[in-house]
């Protein structure tokens, strides 16, 4: 079966589609912004990549959310819940982690079914 890679670079692809599933790379927002702003920016990127892959947020299967500071959980969740806006919630895990840059506050990874 074919594997399709979107926005591929030397180090990684932003999305990989295989057997009707799209796997997104971890998405981050603008360094230095607060967690709510970064989360909204990440979710916009996810919408764009899902659309390019032939999916949308209603087809989410799983999400993994990494927070640089778990104290930001509430603010991130407010942005997340507003973004879902009634779409079915995916299976999800959220944890605190040291992200690749000190000024990134959130990184989100999702998988979704392609339509």
Q: Per-residue DSSP letters for 57-81?
A: GGGEEEEEEEESSGGGHHHHHHHHH
pLDDT digits (tens, 9 = 90+) for 33-72: 999 999 999 999 999 999 999 999 999 999 999 999 999 9
Using CA atoms, how far apart are residues 40 and 80, in angstroms rounded to an integer? Answer: 8
**pLDDT value of residue 115:** 82
DSSP state letter for 85: T
The full length of the chain comes to: 115
Tokens of 95: 């944890």
pLDDT band of residue 104 (cuts 50, 70, 90) is very high
Using CA atoms, how far apart are residues 67 and 69, in angstroms rounded to an integer? Answer: 5
Domain architecture of the chain: domains with CATH: 3-113 (3.30.1330.40)
* Predicted confidence (pLDDT) at residue 1 exceeds the cutoff of 80: no
**pLDDT value of residue 99:** 96
As a whole number, mean pLDDT of residues 8-19 equals 96
- DSSP E strands in 1-115: the ranges are 3-8, 13-18, 21-24, 27-28, 60-67, 91-96, 106-113
């Amino acid at each position: 079966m074919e594997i399709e890679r979107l926005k591929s670079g030397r180090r990684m692809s932003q999305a990989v589609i295989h057997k009707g599933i799209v796997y997104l790379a971890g998405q981050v927002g603008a360094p230095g912004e607060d967690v709510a702003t970064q989360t909204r920016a990440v979710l916009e990127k996810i919408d764009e990549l899902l659309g390019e892959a032939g999916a949308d947020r209603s087809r989410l299967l799983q999400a993994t959310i990494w927070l640089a500071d778990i104290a930001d959980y509430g603010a991130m969740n407010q942005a997340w819940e507003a973004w879902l806006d009634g779409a079915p919630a995916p299976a999800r895990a959220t944890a605190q982690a040291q992200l690749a840059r000190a000024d990134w506050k959130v990184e989100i990874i999702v998988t979704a079914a392609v339509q």
